[in-house]
Structure 1
Amino acid sequence: MAGVGAGTGAMSSLLGKLTTLLSGEYTLLKSVRKEVAFLERELRSMHALLETLADMQKLEPMEKDWKGKLRELTYDIENCIDRFIDRLGNGDVKRGFVKRTVVRLKTLWKRHDIATEIQELKARVMEESKRRDRYTLDNRKPRKPVVELDPRLTTMYEEVKGLVAIDGPLNQVIAWLTEESNERKVVSIVGCAGLGKTTLAMEAYRKIGGNFQYRACVSVSCTLDLEKLLKDILSQIGKKEFAECQSQNWEKEQVIRKISEILTGKRYLIVIDDVWREQDWKFIKASFPGNDNGSRIITTTRITNVAKSCCCNSGDQLYQMAHLSSIDSERLFFKRIFGLGNACPPHLKTVSAKLLKKCSGLPLAIITIASLLANKPRIKDEWERLQDSIGIDSSQNDDSLKSMRDILLLSYWDLPQHLKTCLLYLCIYPEDHHIECEELKWKWIAEGFIDTRWGNLGQEAENYLNELVNRSMLQLVDMNYDSSIQCCQVHDMVLQLIISLSDEENFATVLNGRVCNSLPSKIRRLSIHSNVQQQKVAVDAIGRSELHARSLHVFGKFKQIPLVVNFLSLRVLDLREGSCIWFGKKQIQNIGSLSQLRYLRLHSSEITELPEEIGMLQYLETLDLRRCYSLTVLPSTVVRLRKLAHLFVHDRLMLHADVFGRMHALEEVSAISYVDNPVKFAEQLRNLINLRRIYMPCSVALLQAKNGDYAEALVRILVSSLNELGEHNLQHLHITGSVGENLFRDPACTFPHLQDVEISTLIHRVPKGMASLNSVVKLVIKVRQFDEKDLHLLMRMPCLTHLGLTLYHRIGVREKLTVGGDGFKLLKVLHYEIVLSSGTGISFAQGALPALRRLHLSWTASRVMSRKCDGADLGIEHLSGLVHLHVETNCRCATLGEVEAVEAAVQKAVALHPNLHALQVDVYKTSTENIIKGGRERSEESGEDMTDEEYGNSEIDVSDSPPPISSCLLDQVMWTDTRSSNSAILRVCNLPAE
């Protein structure tokens, strides 16, 4: 079972530890054994009842009180036992150290603090046991087991994204935004929660965003953090400026000045989602320069007066969202449950109508309750029981939010206990926060939420995540190439619900700007969001939670937070970007005292070195130091971190080869660029047989080789080690060209588990061994010489679904790569970039790429038009499954006529596509400032193309792929055009992957 639960506390984890203490694994004094045995016996007798009560939605006051006190008691006992075991010295108390153990036990047990605490806890256990008997609580029967949903992530995502009744509102909003007016205009979308305001705003943003030089979309949340919001905008309109802002910790005024500097005189589109107060809007609006360049701002809000304040000028427009009609509600509801084209069975029509009435036309409510029903038996009585459990509908009490909360509560109580716990944990994140799923899974594991019976905790955590998404308790933001979830988000109504439920269970304490009349006497998990007014409350909360808190999360800047080294029960410490400007050498020097720590993330430029004591963190599983840019080396004591599985450092940090080679628990490491002894590193790498993911973007061999022979020998050793790792668990590999060419040179090479390969620098030819990579799903490479043989070699890779291919080869005048129908049967995403060749260099024959959904083409205008490409020879019309075409044209050294000719060729190619109505097309132009002036035709004096040498030395990052795209059918082709003075490529965002 999972060790820790929201309703059961640490009961399961605690019983396991007590059992271990009583087993032969530890040698205990007779008096110690007696006390431990009593605790184990009494707690086990109450375990089943606690689990039963935790699964019950409605409890009598005495039951609720008993459950809460026993739950808190389990945390306190486990904290005491953890400290006791830690003081014993872990491994030193195993058999064979009996004499030393007995002496240590006598000393420990006589110490006043341990003895007194055990006696106090024993008395509390006896009292709860007596109360259980007095209240006859054991007579309560467990509820019927929940039927769990099967994971259907991709289908679910597409259905949720399948927009219903959005055409009319979207056309109206776009019409207002595209009216011919140079004055800056605001369109404000207003409506209650769950109506789809954000969806409408983002669809409009996505459809017309390419017509603006700069664009950004941000969420405000209930409590405005203006500095964070402004930095979010800066990160989208100026990546270089944002990096400077991060490294120098700019204040709010500096960020405002930089945003104004970037946007002044430019045409921009900004989405401000979820504005709560008129004053907030005034602060936000003041950050943008007013101009007459046709700029547009879209706001969403739940409050009419706020929407009106946004629309203070004559040209501004307010759009009032309406609830879905009964017909549209039915379409959305039945589509989620029965799928496209399947009608509702006659015996369920009446109860479906009643359920839809309670949803009040709220899309979120409809999707939530439909997801609950999707995998349940289609039995009328069961659906009616569910319908009866929802409160009265909005037509009777004029309160759709009450009905919405009832529906969400129903879905929450339908979750099994372990999913309730994992869902409640999400309350630690700020509103509208994009949650990285890998991080979330590691935190769940560190907290003890994942069932340990199945062995692979990571896969089990993935299953939990899938279930929560399938039940619509979580929203997808992005997906990985393999259809796993990359990033998710909690809807604000769900977030409000789980915060209130967490408060009831004393599961987590969230300081996010809301009014806190009182704090719990014992805080178990603490999340602090940026809010200057709550600095004093935060300090007080930390002070009272030192001995009890299991996790501490800080989002935003806090300068007054005291030392955290007294958090003796801490499992998770996450100090986010900007949150630990106060966290330097003094605060970290005693970090070894956090003996229970499993997850540690530090983002601080103040940290210049880690203390040797970090090696005392015997349970540490994840260490994330990617943003500690002033840290240059890891202490040698990290070799003592026997359970460290995930190590993340920045690419300028030096690793000790001898230490690294002995960290046998490592499963994932990023990013390896510098080591003190490259040869030893390469030799020792083969010993890390648990490695699943290796990220080496800069080759150790190339960076540190003293001469050619040394580099060649080093590559051979590194290849040998990687070959050995390939026979074990290696799944993801990011390496440089010299290593990649040698690693996959052998046609018979086998990497049975390898799924993802990225070679970050140029390789001469495609290695023959790549055809033998039968498990690889994603491949990203840059090739200097490429012809039909290389193409057919890649086409033989049987499982390839995602290919990034950059060609530096000068293809001859009569050469063109033709992709036929004899390979790439599963390829869904193709990123094709041609750097030196004239023309497009590629065409698609009839029957090619039957599974392709997304095609990204990148080329240089002057070279494409040197072949007089007219678009018809591309063969786009043969890609029948294509839903998204992304064309990126580099305008450097091209004439205006050449640029226009490329655009015309793309339009012609698209016009030939048989499913034109379903195709989304994005056309981007970069380096527009380098278009040759003074004419549409090239003259001998007009400038020259880049040389081969210049192209070869230029940085081209194929891995910077555009975000996932939607599989929804769009009503029209969307043409976008980026004319950014800094050549930034603005991409479509927040759409699902294929």
Structure 2
Amino acid sequence: MAETVVSFVLEELCQFVKEERTSVTGVEREFIDIKDELESIQAFLKDADTKADDDGGGGGGGGGSNGVKTWVKQLREASFRIEDVIDEYNMYEAQRVNHSRFRSVLQMIPGLIKTMNPHHQIASEIQDIMLSLGKIKERSTRFEFRSESGSGSSYRGTKAPRIGDPRMAPYFIEETQVVGFEIPRDELVSCLVGGNNELMLVSVVGMGGLGKTTLAKHVFDNQLVKRNFDCRSFITVSQSYTIRELLTDMVKKFCKDNNEPIPKGLLKMDDETLITHVRQYLESKRYLVFFDDVWKENFSDEIEHALISNNKGSRIIVTTRMMHVAEYFKKSFPVHVHKLQPLPPNKAWELFCNKAFRGQCPTELEDVSKEIVQKCGGLPLAIVAIGGLLSTKAKTIFEWEKVSQNLRMELDRNVHLTSLVKILSLSYDDLPYHLKSCMLYFGIYPEDYAIYRKRLARQWMAEGFVRHEDRRTLEEVAEEYLTELIQRSLVNVFKVGLNGRVKSCQVHDLLREVIIRKIKDLSFCHLCHKDDEQVTVGITRRLSIAAISNNDLRNTSSSGIRAIYVFDKGEFPKHFIHGLSAKFKLLKVLDFQNSLLKSIPDNLGNLFHLRYLNLSFTKVTALPKSIGNLVNLETLDLRQSHVRELPKEINRLTKLTLLPVYYRKYEGSYSILNFTTGVRMQEGIGCMISLEKLYFLEADHGGIDIIQELKKLKQLRKLGIRRVRREYGNVLCATIQEMKHLESLNITAITEEEIIDLDFVSNPPNLKVLNLKSRLTKLPKWIPNLKYLVKLRLGLSNFEDDPLESFKILPNLLRLNLWDDAFSGERLHFQKGGFYKLIELDLTRLNRLKSISIDKEALLGLEDFRFNNNPQLKAVPQDLQNLKNLQILELIDMPAELVDSIDPDKGGPCHWIINHIPLVLIRQKVGSRYHDYELRPIPTQLNI
């Protein structure tokens, strides 16, 4: 696993050499030499990693202590030294250019002898690294590593299975041993034997160990399926195939299935002749081909010409871990994609009992057994493997609890679980190296932690894992990386936003255990978690602190640590906080989200390399002036912190791209103008030319002048601005006109009576989200022209005329919120043919609203309808019966007569109107705080 580390360091070296190419002398020349040496070693790293995984630490080609694992470890540590010396050199150069600002940085460079010139010290370290690399390269010859060109995916362990390979087991499972696949089996059988005569492909997609091959093989062998086809062929693909081998194997199996002789000269045919022969053979037949374990997206192109579409109802089955592989087949074939799900709890329990007990679970083992099954997360392979292991153990609660509590250790050492680890590791091993680093991040977060996309993406960016691409932000590229990991069935989506984008995600618990093993092997991160207590941390690149241990924090070999993540909500040792900038000198990522951190040390600005600082949901009230020295900072997250004013020095941060800073008062009653508090900023804000997201700025501090400065922020994509006065209107409009990339705009007036004119000359062309909380002289003409608008929220606007006529033509609108007298009339009418895509509709505190009418062909896609505290709306709109796709109806603090009219327990005469809606919720305020609600469902025909 050295390839990931070396490849990353090589990228840093290449970037460094590119930036320093104008002065390639001395130290810079030696960096180039290191780069060249690493590139010569990189060619055989894939093979080295493969052998290291199979090496016991001795053995290998050299024997004794010079095993492959030892060699890989030495190379990895040399790579760490290279990364450190690059960062130390950059710090030194920054200090040299501006000695007054970076005087403290000079004192922080690790290993400097006070009497020695730092440039000489760095040069000496580089020379020592070169000597180490030379010895490492020399020792590599004894292992006879196989050289591979390029830096693409690893092919380790992905050849077709042979005897003893755990991937062969699903081919021979008896029908009676298969549990939980009844519904997907019947669905797939129906796809194969039903439908029209057009050639169709059925793809089964899911993570390793989910049972794709088991399911598809039993469908393939189903008697009804067998009778439906003239010939069948089952082919294992994996990654080391050639298309000639597959086609030849396919012909042989067709012939065997039909008791026909194998064509003479089959192996000697050229490619064109072979494809022609396959087409001719299949032309008159209704055939079924099963390609198991497909990894490459272009596999579809390779088989397309051979598998003739003969209008006889032929079918193709494909199993793959990768959704994009399944989707790519649509280019050549009609495709039915079946995304295989984990076993439901009852079936998981049945399978476990079958494997562990050959029947019923003893009463005394039931609780611990259910705990073990839950850890398997519905993964059949895990259930079978762990159940098999437990079947060999004494049936005592002591033995079984030991397995449950030490599952990670069992995965490391127990032969019964070897197959599980190998299967789960294959998808990781197949990743390109930059995605491997991203994947390892999922082991940093605690178990069962919901990982938010934005937080994860920004951490990847700060670490340098995300590559720059033309005309795309780093955050967009990072999101694409996450999508690929999801497509590869490595990451599970936990929560999806309204627009279909992932909001949060997780990995399967057992896959996380495999990742943690790799994290430790790579020295990627030390986990200070409750189940990972260690006295000495040793060499590591990151610290993940979910359980504060003074031993861990004091004994860390800290010189190379690049990132610290805090998940513990306890009090932090003062020595740790105040020693941050002295002890962890090369930090790039510092994440305190949701911790009890109360203050930031004054010397935080000494962390020259810091790119990501997350203080969200902490008790921090102020930032030190030294924040201005963090010249490489890209993300400063202050959401739900108590910071109300930013020091003027922050304007020096020309690389800062993301600055979310606000506090929402969930502890009190709601007020549309005062629920959210923003931040005051000083003049000079226009210097932060890289800013892409800024919310929420308090406009009345600085007034027109600070709004004028916002014009300089040409990269802004998200702007939230509060406490806006009427006199700011013209300059605010002119400023927003300059923001050509703006996608999200949130404007809040300083008082409810403040009228703001926002009639721009032209509409912001890329706007997707618009929040306006202000009295408006009139509806701005540009709003109905926002063709990309997804979310629209209006408050306080006091429109006397129904605004829906203007909004209904917005082609991509998914959510509409009318809040706090946005409309001051008595009747709203949703007309036929409008709001084509609207999914969510929220009408809140419209104090004069008395009735709502909905045409039969309006709001056809609406799924979520919310009424909140509309005191004059005393009868449920009868037209709700027209909303056939409505899934949720929420009634919050609505008049009692309306609620009672739909409550069947009270004989509500209007219950029939809402009886088709799956979920109807009544929420009633019971306290002064924002979340103090009593929740009660109304029974309907779909939830009784």
TM bucket, shorter chain: 0.5 to 0.7
Question: Aligned partners of 1:45 and 1:818: how far apart in 2?
Answer: 71
1:69 to 70, 74, 86: 74
1:418 corresponds to which residue? Answer: 434
Letter in 1 for 2:587: L
Q: 1:826-883, CA deviations, whole angstroms, 9 ceiling, x for partnerless residues?
A: 21221123532253x212111112222222223446x333xxx3x4x53122223222
Q: State which drifts further: 651-660 or 551-560.
A: 651-660
Select the residue among 836, 843, 848 that pairs with 1:825.
836
Q: Which of 787, 807, 818 is equivalent to 1:774?
A: 787
Q: Which amino acid aligns with 1:864?
A: L
C-alpha contact (below 8 Å) 2:918/2:943 kept by paired residues: yes
Answer yes or no: is 1:121 the counterpart of 2:133: no
- Opposite residue 500 of structure 2, the aligned amino acid is S
Q: CA deviation at 1:735?
A: 0.8
Report the CA distance shift for 1:385/1:482 in structure 2 as closer, same or farther (over 3 A): closer
Q: Which residue of 2 aligns with 1:875?
A: 879
Q: 1:505 to 1:744 in 2, by over 3 A?
A: same
Q: Aligned AA for 1:886?
A: E
**Structure 1 pair 906/884, CA: closer, same or farther in 2 (3 Å)?**
farther
Which residue number corresponds to residue 846 of structure 1? 856
1:124 shift after superposition? 1.0
2:144 is aligned to: 136
* Separation (CA, whole Å) in 2 of partners of 1:416 and 1:920: 44
Partner amino acid, structure 2, of 1:23: R
Describe how 1:171-190 pairs up with structure 2 within 5 A: none
Aligned to 1:535: 550
Q: 1:554 aligns with which of 563, 566, 580?
A: 566
Which residue pairs with 1:168 in the alignment?
none
After superposition, the C-alpha distances for 1:546-599 in whole angstroms (9 at most, x for unaligned) are x10010111222432521113122110112323434xx35xx222222111110
Contact 1:638–1:659 (CA under 8 A) maintained in structure 2: no
Say if 1:684 and 1:347 are closer, same or farther in 2 by CA, change over 3 A: closer
Distance in 2 (alpha carbons) for counterparts of 1:80 and 1:401: 41
Structure 2 match to 1:8? 6
CA contact (8 A) 1:922 1:974 kept: no
Q: Does 1:37 align with 2:32?
A: yes
8 Å CA contact 1:797–1:824 kept in 2: the answer is yes
Letter in 2 for 1:325: G
Contact map agreement 1:371 1:470 (CA 8 A) in 2 = no
* One-letter code aligned to 2:431: L
Contact 1:358 1:403 in 2 (8 A): no
Q: Which residue number corresponds to residue 327 of structure 1?
A: 182
The 3 A distance-change label for structure 1 pair 406 and 855 is farther
**Compared CA separation, residues 396 and 615, structure 1 to 2 (3 A):** closer
The equivalent position to 2:531 in structure 1, one of 514, 523, 531, is 514
Specify the code of the residue in structure 1 equivalent to 2:80.
Y
Aligned to 2:688, what secondary structure does the other structure show?
A: coil
Secondary structure of 1:137 counterpart: coil
Letter of the 1:723 partner, please give it. Q
Deviations 1:474-505 (A, max 9, x none): 23232223221122233322322211121112
2:635–2:656: 8 Å Cα contact kept in structure 1? yes
Identify the range of structure 1 (762-771 vs 816-825) with the bigger mean alpha-carbon deviation: 762-771
Does structure 2 conserve the Cα–Cα contact (< 8 Å) formed by 1:766 and 1:783?
Answer: no
TM-score, length-normalised on structure 1?
A: 0.62
Secondary structure at the aligned position of 2:44 is classed as helix
Q: Does 1:690 align with 2:715?
A: yes
Shift in CA distance, 779/571, structure 1 to aligned 2, threshold 3 Å:
same
Write the deviation string for residues 394-418 of structure 1: whole angstroms up to 9, x where unpaired. Answer: 5866679766544422332333332
| DSSP 3-state at the match of 2:738 | helix
Alpha-carbon displacement from aligned partner over 1:506-558 (angstroms, at most 9, x marks no partner)? 11111111244575531111101135xx33233322xx12x100101112224
Change (3 A) 1:847 1:612: same
Asked if 1:523 is matched to 2:540, the reply is yes
| Within-5 A mapping of 1:728-743 | 728-736=740-748, 742=756
Is the 8 Å Cα contact of residues 845 and 875 (structure 1) preserved in structure 2? yes
Contact 2:566–2:595 (CA under 8 A) maintained in structure 1: no
Pairing partner for 1:574 from 576, 584, 591: 591
Q: Measured at CA, do residues 847 and 604 of structure 1 come closer, stay the same or move farther in structure 2, by a change above 3 Å?
A: closer
Amino acid at match of 1:536: N
Contact 1:753 1:775 in 2 (8 A): yes
Paired position in structure 1 for 2:657: 645
Change in Cα spacing, 1:33 to 1:433, as seen in structure 2 (3 Å) is closer
Q: Counterparts of 1:507-906 in structure 2 under 5 Å?
A: 507-516=524-533, 519=536, 521-531=538-548, 534-541=549-556, 544-545=557-558, 547-556=559-568, 557-560=570-573, 561-562=575-576, 563-566=579-582, 567-581=584-598, 584=599, 588-602=601-615, 607=620, 609-629=622-642, 631-650=643-662, 655-673=680-698, 676-696=701-721, 698-701=722-725, 711-712=726-727, 714-725=728-739, 728-736=740-748, 742=756, 744-745=758-759, 749-763=762-776, 766-783=779-796, 785-786=798-799, 789-806=802-819, 808=821, 816-833=827-844, 835-837=846-848, 839=850, 841-860=851-870, 863-865=872-874, 869=875, 871=876, 873-891=877-895, 899-901=899-901, 903=903
Asked whether 1:451 is paired with 2:467, we answer: yes
How many angstroms apart in 2 are the aligned matches of 1:764 and 1:571?
48
Q: Which ranges in structure 2 are unaligned for 5 or more consecutive residues?
A: 58-66, 99-111, 156-176, 219-290, 304-315, 323-379, 392-415, 664-676
Higher relative contact order (CA 8 A, sep 6+): 1
Cα 1:767–1:902 shift into 2, 3 Å: farther
> Secondary structure in 2 aligned to 1:539?
helix
* Partner Cα distance (1:338, 1:471) in 2: 29
Cα distance, 1:730 vs. partner?
A: 0.5
Q: Is the 8 A contact 1:555 1:575 kept in 2?
A: yes
Deviation for aligned residue 1:326: 3.6
CA distance in 2, matches of 1:661, 1:142: 44
**Which structure 2 residues correspond to residues 167-566 of structure 1 after superposition, within 5 A?**
324-328=179-183, 330=185, 355-356=214-215, 394=385, 405-454=421-470, 456-516=473-533, 519=536, 521-531=538-548, 534-541=549-556, 544-545=557-558, 547-556=559-568, 557-560=570-573, 561-562=575-576, 563-566=579-582
Q: Distance in 1 between matches of 2:441 and 2:684?
A: 35
Structure 1 counterpart of 2:334 = none
The one-letter amino acid of 1:522's match is I
Deviation at 1:754, TM superposition (A): 0.5
- 5+ residue gaps, structure 1, are 94-104, 148-321, 360-369, 702-710, 930-953, 976-994
CA 592–808 in structure 1, closer or farther in 2 if over 3 Å, else same = closer
Q: Which amino acid letter does the alignment assign opposite residue 127 of structure 1?
A: K
Change (3 A) 1:777 1:415: same
Given that residues 742 and 767 in structure 2 are in contact (C-alpha distance below 8 angstroms), is that contact kept between their aligned partners in structure 1? yes
Deviation at 1:761, TM superposition (A): 4.3
* SS of equivalent to 2:33: helix
Output one character per residue of 1:688-707: Cα deviation in whole Å (capped at 9) or x when no partner: 111101122x3243xxxxxx
Cα offset, 1:463, TM superposition? 0.6
Residue 580 of structure 2 aligns to a residue in which SS? coil
Question: The residue matched to 2:43 in structure 1 has which SS?
Answer: helix
Contact 1:772 1:797 in 2 (8 A): yes
Deviation, 1:783, is 4.8
| 2:71 matches 1:47 | no
| CA gap 1:382/1:824 in 2 versus in 1, 3 angstroms | closer
- Taking every aligned residue pair, what percent have the same amino acid on both sides? 25
Contact kept in structure 2, 1:573 and 1:599, CA below 8 Å: yes
> How far apart are residue 908 of structure 1 and its match?
6.2
1:945 corresponds to: none
> How far 1:438 sits from its partner (Å)?
0.8
